[in-house]
Amino acid sequence: MKDVMLDIETLSTSNNALILTIGAIKWNRGVIKKKHELDKFYRRININSCKKIGLEINKDTLNWWENQNEIVRYEALENNENRIDIKQALLEFIEWYGNSENVWGNGDDFDCVIMTNAFEKCGLSPPWKFWETRDVRTLYDLGNIKNYMLKKIECNAHNAIDDCYKQIYGCKLALNKLK
């Protein structure tokens, strides 16, 4: 089964949030490979292109970013290298997603919902059906996975690719505990 772990960084927590970065990794539930061996998708998004389609910025979220790790904040907000239009990023994501079967997000009301909204605002359909979304937090709860169990995965929290990989690792731990 081909699953996709999705993580986005945003300037709001609403379903209409402005998207800063999109990260995704294709993975197989049976085997967890090293991060550099996995098929990854990563795009920095042009903030003005998101504003043009009506995606929102929340002052509290903007303030929250000010208190994050400098490296992560730079990558999400300040690094303007290779930022692309949101619609172009979504079209590239659809192509990359291909025939994947399920998309996972960290929560049933965040990543997949915000991305679906962005697709719709750009006149596109997401590459998944609503019944193909999966929730990392629910799996962690069922498998009794706690954050401290994921500490050995070296990553920058709130970097979309690093968060994807950490979530994949956590899902694998949960699936193994549930067997």
The Cβ of residue 78 has, within 10 Å, a number of other Cβ atoms equal to 9
Q: What is the CATH number of the domain that holds 125?
A: 3.30.420.10
What pLDDT, on the 0 to 100 scale, is given for residue 29? Answer: 87
Mean pLDDT of the chain: 93
Q: Give the pLDDT confidence of 88-129 residue by residue, as tens digits.
A: 999 999 999 999 999 999 989 999 999 999 999 999 999 999
Q: Beta strands of 28-115 (E only): which ranges? A: 40-45, 83-84, 102-105
pTM of the model: 0.95
Q: Is the pLDDT of residue 151 over 80?
A: no
As beta bridge partners, residue 10 has 19
Dump pLDDT digits (tens) for 42-98. 999 999 999 999 999 999 999 999 999 999 999 999 999 999 999 999 999 999 999
The span from the CA of 96 to the CA of 40, in Å, is: 9
Please report the pLDDT score of residue 25 as a whole number. Answer: 96
Domain limits for position 50: 3-178
Under the banding of pLDDT at 50, 70 and 90, the label for residue 154 is: confident
User: Could you say which DSSP state residue 14 is in?
Assistant: S
Sort strands 19-27 and 133-135 into parallel, antiparallel or unpaired.
Answer: unpaired
Instruction: Give the chain's domain count.
Output: 1
